[in-house]
Amino acid sequence: MNDSVKVFMGGTFDPIHNGHLRTALEIEQWLGVSEVTLIPSKAPVHRQQPERTGQQRLDMVRLAVTDEPGLFADDREVRSEDASYTVLTLESFRREIGVNTPVCMVLGMDAYLSLPQWDRWQELLTLCHVVVVKRPGWVYEPCELMQEISKKHETKDQQRLLTSPAGHVIFRELTPLGISATQIRQLIREGCSPRYLIPDAVWNYIQKNKLYGFKNEGK
Ligand code: ATP
Ligand code: MG
């Protein structure tokens, strides 16, 4: 078990679903680390605004990880005064753990391919490694720039992520789960139950707070 590696997954988690949770758990086990941190973003700058508030999305992440000892919710982006920028989050990790501790950022394929649109994206690989998870429905069709970055930074050996602080990209195929938060929001809006796609605790929270257009008991 490697306790001195920081592994995290950011996202809007609007809401968190089993695709996120299973990904986090499988990465935890594959890397042999004791913790994976889930960080809901405040207001993502490069994409559509979340439907629910940061606090509500954070509440749902907290409920989702309660029973899983290796998964944690981190409130730094939701609490921050600023919009969420991954590079700022990485800098705040570095202030806490120093420059030598390995940091791994877990990204779905869609997020990885959008990397050049992120603020100060060229600095990201100086601050962390990137674990890219294949996602059903998203093929690896990189633009020339991403092809270059992948080629320059790719490793096939996960040990390299545990023994250096930053700079590698690794692709990992996990149990493919074609679940998205968009699909969950749509199901709820249409009056259908999202059960078994999200944890029951999250579904109960959504019903109690009447989120995503929830009106009745669901079908
Ligand atoms: P939305 O449909 O609102 O965009 P989402 O399901 O894509 O929601 P996000 O919060 O946008 O969830 O994603 C956070 C991170 O989790 C991203 O890196 C994304 O690629 C990854 N991710 C989301 N769903 C899956 C999944 N089913 N399998 C693997 N990775 C996933
Ligand atoms: Mg998404």
User: Ligand 1: residues whose CB is within 6 Å?
Assistant: 9, 11-14, 19-20, 23, 107-108, 110-111, 133, 135, 177, 179-182
> What pLDDT does 73 receive?
98
Q: Transcribe 33-72 into DSSP letters.
A: BS-EEEEE-SS-SSSPPPSS-HHHHHHHHHHHHTT-TTEE
Helix (H, G, I), strand (E, B), or coil: what is residue 29? helix
Q: How many domains are there within the chain?
A: 1
201 assigned to some structural domain: no
Position 125 in a domain: yes
192 in a structural domain: no
We report the CATH number of the domain holding residue 39 as 3.40.50.620
Single-letter amino acid code for the residue at 78: V
Determine, yes or no, domain membership for 194: no
**Domain assignment of residue 197, yes or no:** no
Residue 187, in any domain of the structure: no
pTM score, two decimals?
Answer: 0.95
pLDDT given at position 30: 98
First to last CA, the chain: 43
pLDDT of residue 44: 60
166 falls within a domain: yes
DSSP conformation letters of 154-208: B-S-THHHHSSSS--EEEE--------HHHHHHHHHTT---BTTB-HHHHHHHHH
| Contact indicator for 26, 133 with CB cutoff of 8 Å | no
Whether the Cβ atoms of residue 18 and residue 58 lie closer than 8 Å to each other: no
Encode the chain (219 residues) as per-residue pLDDT tens digits.
Answer: 677 899 999 999 999 999 999 999 999 999 999 999 999 999 766 667 788 999 999 999 999 999 999 999 999 999 998 889 999 999 999 999 999 999 999 999 999 999 999 999 999 999 999 999 999 988 888 999 999 999 999 999 999 999 999 999 999 999 999 999 999 999 999 999 999 999 999 999 999 999 999 986 544
**Among 14, 61, 135, 175, which is best to mutate for testing ligand 1, by the most ligand atoms less than 8 A from CB?**
135
Atom of ligand 1 nearest to the CA of 18: 27
Is residue 58 assigned to a domain?
A: yes
Range of the domain at 119: 6-179
